[in-house]
C-alpha cells in the first residue's frame, strides 16, 4: 500500500484530511512519524506557494508521496486578510482564541452584511521527483459577532453558513466535512492520488 505523508503535525487537520480521503488505497502518515523532518517556512506569497513548498520539501526528505496543504480565512472588508497569515494572525503568542478576538476587534461596528468571508485551501502533491499536482477549494460565509459552537478549530466558531444558520463550530465535523474549503480541495486531489497509486 502506498504511503501518503501529510505535511502537518496538526492532529485536528490530519483527522479532517483522513475523513475526506477515506476509501483510497493509501496509508496516511503525519510528520509525527518523522521527528527529524525539517521545518518548512511558510513564506510564500500565496496559499499555493506554501502548499507546494511543504509538499516538495517533505517529499525530498521522506522519499514518499507527500501532501502539502495551506489554508486560511479571507475577509472581504479586510482586503482578504488574514489570508496566508491566518494561523499566526495574533502574533508570536498566537492561539485560535487570540486570532478570533483580533478578527472581531478589526470588524467591530460592521453589520453582518459587510462581514463576508471565505475559507480557502490549496493542496499540493509531490514525490521525490517533484510536483505531482496542485488543487484548490473554497467555502463562502459570514463572520458573526461572537464565537459560537465548540467543534472544529481555527476561525470555525466565527465562520457562519447562512444556509444552516450556524457556524462551522456549531455544525460539527459531519456536515463541515461535506462542504468545507478543505473538502472541496481534497475532493479534487482524490483522482490525482488514485492515478499516482495505479501508476506507482
Catalytic residue among 43, 70, 76, 127: 70
Distance (Å, rounded) from C-alpha 96 to C-alpha 169?
Answer: 13
Q: Let me know: does 80 contact 136? Beta carbons within 8 Å.
A: no
Distance (Å, rounded) from C-alpha 184 to C-alpha 122?
Answer: 10
Report CA-CA distances (Å) from 86 to 27, 115, 153, 164: 29, 16, 12, 24
Cα atoms in the Cβ-side hemisphere of radius 13 Å centred on 22: 8
Phi then psi dihedrals of residue 123, to 5 deg: -125, 125
3-state secondary structure of 36: coil
Phi then psi dihedrals of residue 121, to 5 deg: -140, 130
Residue entry with cell 478549530: 153
Whether 93 is catalytic is no
What are the residues whose beta carbons fall under 8 Å from the beta carbon of 38, sequence distance 6 or more? Answer: 57, 58, 61
Show which residues are catalytic. Answer: 70
Amino acid at each position: 500500500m502506498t504511503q501518503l505523508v501529510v505535511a502537518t503535525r496538526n492532529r485536528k487537520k490530519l483527522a479532517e484530511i483522513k475523513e475526506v480521503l477515506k476509501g483510497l488505497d493509501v496509508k496516511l502518515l503525519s510528520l509525527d512519524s518523522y521527528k527529524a523532518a525539517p521545518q518548512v517556512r511558510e513564506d510564500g506569497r500565496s496559499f499555493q506557494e506554501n502548499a507546494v513548498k511543504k509538499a516538495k520539501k517533505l517529499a525530498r526528505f521522506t522519499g514518499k508521496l507527500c501532501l502539502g496543504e495551506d489554508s486560511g480565512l479571507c475577509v472581504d472588508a479586510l482586503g482578504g486578510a488574514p489570508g496566508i497569515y491566518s494561523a499566526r494572525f495574533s502574533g508570536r503568542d498566537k492561539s485560535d482564541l487570540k486570532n478570533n478576538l483580533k478578527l472581531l476587534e478589526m470588524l467591530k461596528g460592521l453589520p453582518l452584511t459587510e462581514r463576508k468571508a471565505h475559507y480557502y485551501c490549496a493542496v499540493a502533491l509531490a514525490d521525490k521527483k517533484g510536483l505531482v499536482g496542485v488543487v484548490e477549494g473554497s467555502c463562502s460565509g459570514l463572520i458573526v459577532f461572537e464565537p459560537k459552537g465548540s467543534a472544529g478549530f481555527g476561525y470555525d466558531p466565527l465562520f457562519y453558513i447562512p444556509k444552516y444558520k450556524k457556524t462551522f463550530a456549531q455544525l460539527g465535523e459531519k456536515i463541515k466535512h461535506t462542504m468545507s474549503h478543505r473538502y472541496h480541495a481534497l475532493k479534487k486531489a482524490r483522482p490525482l492520488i488514485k492515478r499516482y497509486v495505479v501508476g506507482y
